[in-house]
Amino acid sequence: MTAIPVPETVPARPMPAPAATRHRFAMYWAAACGGCDIAVLNVDGVLPLVDEHFEVVFWPAVMDAKYADLEAVPDASIDITLFSGSIRNSENEALARLLRRKSRLLVAFGSCAGEGCIPGLANLSPTAAILDASYEGPGVDNPDHLLPQAVWQAPEGELDLPLLSPLLRTLDQVVPVDYSVPGCPPESARIAEVLALVVEALEGRAELPPVGSILGAGHSTVCDECPRTRGVKHITSFRRIQDVVSIDPDLCLLEQGIPCNGPATRDGCAARCPLVGAPCIGCYGPADGVVDYGARLMSAFASVVEAQEPAEIERILDGIADPVGQFYRFSLARSLLGASRAAKIGSVPAGLPPMEGAAT
């Protein structure tokens, strides 16, 4: 495991004297699946570190806490907050702002907070279509066509529910973020590295990299970590992994026609998926220098397609069954376009075919 490189140009950050008590820690889940919390709870690697060095102030996944308790702690009194999940509704946004205020270091933890991740694919659909799919869609038994209401008068008083945001946003699209830790979820060993670095920094024995840095990952691509043999690629057809009878155990998956997102994806996971014959799907997000993850990947895929006739190129491209899912599975909310036009204007533009994969 390589140490996280600390650039020599880091501005000097005087660290506080060793604290008499443990450092204060919080973790929150906004629009997330809880996998990031599980990754931190992974007893083998990370939890002992949290327990040894941190006092947990607020962590809804593992202990009871009320938002009022969090509001009551002094501003900037939490040393580090790991914020997992993206901003889907007004509750997520309020907690993002509250935790920003209460935290000295706010970390966008995991792909949802950093890039939108799978929940970000909701940015393909207008709000009304999302609600329709959730409350009227296949498998939903809702004979009275009930929808969640923002405000409800109950006998005991007025109740309210969070408001759905028109578009899903990443944490740093809502509040300033100090660091990001990519991954879906981040690898436990990398989380341990990050927490160890933070402890060292809080105790004045190390310096943190410049604000805005990515922690717990490398600076290159998954391909650089992947032990598979890479040659000159000539793709004459793309194949979905379930259609491949046997996978060459040593050859680059993309070279075998299996769409693998390694060329655009940040390293840090030790190429876990390609190692076991599954293509990289891009959970560690864009590599250094990549402005738009999908664009980088489109560039890489189109370059190795072995055809010059438009009809033949189209036939090969037909093998990528779901282009947005392939190129933006984790990064749609953080991409240059950020969302489909339908989601932005609230309905499907006239004259366009229904979008594949999106709720309509």
Partner 1 sequence: MSVTAAPRPATADDTAEPAVTTHPTAGAAGVAFEPLLIGFTCNWCSYRAADLAGTARIKYPPNVRLVRLMCAGRLDPTFVLKAFAGGADGVMVTGCWPGDCHYREQNFKGLRRFLLLRRVIAALGIEPARLQLVWASAAEGDRLAHEIGRIVEEVRALGPLKADERLAEPATPVAAVEAAT
Give the footprint of partner 1 on residues 12-31 (CB under 8 A). Answer: 13-16
Residue number, 248 or 356, with CB nearest to partner 1: 356
Spatial separation of the C-alpha atoms in residues 244 and 231, rounded to whole Å = 20
* Residue 149 binds to partner 1 (criterion: CB under 8 A): yes
- The answer to whether 342 touches 124, Cβ cutoff 8 Å, is yes
Q: Hey, how many other C-beta atoms are within 10 angstroms of the C-beta on 182?
A: 29
| Cα distances (angstroms) measured from residue 225 to each of 28, 165, 171, 200, 284 | 31, 38, 28, 27, 13
In the list 27, 99, 118, 208, the residue contacting partner 1 (rule: CB under 8 A) is 208
Site size toward partner 1, by CB under 8 A: 82
Binding positions for partner 1, 285-304, rule CB under 8 A: 288-289, 291-292, 294-296, 298-299, 301-303
Q: Is the peptide bond before 263 cis (omega within 30 degrees of 0)?
A: no
* Residue 118 binds to partner 1 (criterion: CB under 8 A): no
* Residue 132 binds to partner 1 (criterion: CB under 8 A): yes
In the list 163, 234, 236, 243, the residue contacting partner 1 (rule: CB under 8 A) is 163
Residue number, 55 or 132, with CB nearest to partner 1: 132
* Residue 203 binds to partner 1 (criterion: CB under 8 A): no
* Residue 337 binds to partner 1 (criterion: CB under 8 A): yes
Region near partner 1 per CB under 8 A, out of 30-38, 216-224, 249-257, 339-347? 339-347
Closest alpha carbon to 82 in 69, 68, 96: 96
3-state SS class at 265: strand
* Residue 161 binds to partner 1 (criterion: CB under 8 A): yes
Burial of 2 (0-12, 13-18, 19+ CB in 10 A): exposed
Residue number, 60 or 210, with CB nearest to partner 1: 210
Residue found by looking up tokens 């040393």 in the block: 79
| Cα distances (angstroms) measured from residue 185 to each of 33, 58, 239, 279, 324 | 10, 20, 27, 17, 21
* Residue 137 binds to partner 1 (criterion: CB under 8 A): no
What residues contact residue 123 under an 8 Å CB cut-off, 6+ apart? Answer: 116, 167, 168, 332, 333, 338, 339, 340, 343
The two three-digit tokens of residue 264, written as one number: 């655009």
89: enclosing H helix or E strand: strand 87-89
Least distance to partner 1 from the beta carbon of 35, Å? 25
* Residue 263 binds to partner 1 (criterion: CB under 8 A): no
Binding positions for partner 1, 58-117, rule CB under 8 A: 76, 79, 89-90, 93, 104-106
Q: Provide the mask over 302-321, with x wherever binding to partner 1 is found by CB under 8 A and - wherever it is not.
A: xx-x-xx-x--xx--x--x-
* Residue 201 binds to partner 1 (criterion: CB under 8 A): yes
